[in-house]
Amino acid sequence: MLESRTKTTSLPTLESLAKFLYVCEMMALSVYTNKKSSLKNVPELRGIPGIQKEINNLQIFIHMT
């Protein structure tokens, strides 16, 4: 069942996943060091609707505090 799902669902590319992970790491580092970092471009991840907006909102919240 999982195999058939992956064949029919459009999955994110490795490049977009790597960029997404970088954004998450920069947010974590910003919180850990209590230093503001610049806002990063969050890539759209195919097959995972809404995650881009949520991470952007989280990034803005972290940047404001």
Answer whether 0.85 is exceeded by the pTM.
Answer: no
- Per-residue pLDDT tens over the stretch 6-57: 565 688 899 999 999 999 999 999 999 999 889 999 999 998 889 999 999 9
Question: Between vectors from CA 51 to CA 53 and to CA 57, what angle results, nearest 5°?
Answer: 35
Three-state DSSP at 43 gives: coil
Domain boundaries of the chain, sorted by first residue: 10-64
Give the model's confidence band at 1: pLDDT under 50 very low, under 70 low, under 90 confident, else very high.
very low
Q: What is the pLDDT of residue 8?
A: 56
